[in-house]
């Protein structure tokens, strides 16, 4: 599939990239090659092939969801310059 120079210029504008006039033809050819590769991939029959999320059949080992630290909330609140009813008080930033 051929990509014309107007399409390359429009894509460059949308992508906010600068492509010099000397390289537009090369970029156009390379985009055409990529689109040909996509066409080849789309032509392959995938009927009967199960989709996979990862090429390796590995499983994620998960750890047990257990509390491993003690509750130190009151200790941390005592370190704060100001607190009230279990909340940290901070200076007003926005008027």
Q: Is residue 65 part of a domain?
A: no
- The range of the structural domain enclosing residue 23 comes to 5-43
Q: Is residue 21 part of a domain?
A: yes
Mean pLDDT of 16-37: 92
CATH of the domain at 37: 1.10.20
Domain count, the chain: 1
pLDDT at position 1, please?
67
Query: Per residue in 31-80, pLDDT tens?
Result: 999 999 999 999 999 898 888 777 777 788 899 999 999 999 999 999 99
**How many CB atoms are located within 10 Å of the residue 8 CB?**
21
Q: What is the CA radius of gyration of the chain?
A: 29
Q: Is residue 61 part of a domain?
A: no
Q: Is residue 66 part of a domain?
A: no
Q: Which residues contact 76 (CB under 8 A, 6 or more apart)?
A: none
Q: Yes or no: say if 27 and 8 are a contact pair by the CB < 8 Å rule.
A: yes
Q: Is residue 53 part of a domain?
A: no
Q: Is residue 20 part of a domain?
A: yes
């Amino acid at each position: 599939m051929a990509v014309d120079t107007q399409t390359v210029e429009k894509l460059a504008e949308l992508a906010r990239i600068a492509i010099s006039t000397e390289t537009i033809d090369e970029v156009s050819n390379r985009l055409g090659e990529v689109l040909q590769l996509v066409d080849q991939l789309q032509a392959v029959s995938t009927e009967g092939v199960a989709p996979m999320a990862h090429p390796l059949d590995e499983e994620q080992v998960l750890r047990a969801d257990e509390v491993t630290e003690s509750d130190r909330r009151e200790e941390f609140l005592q370190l704060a310059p100001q607190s009230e009813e279990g909340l940290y008080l901070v200076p007003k930033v926005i008027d």
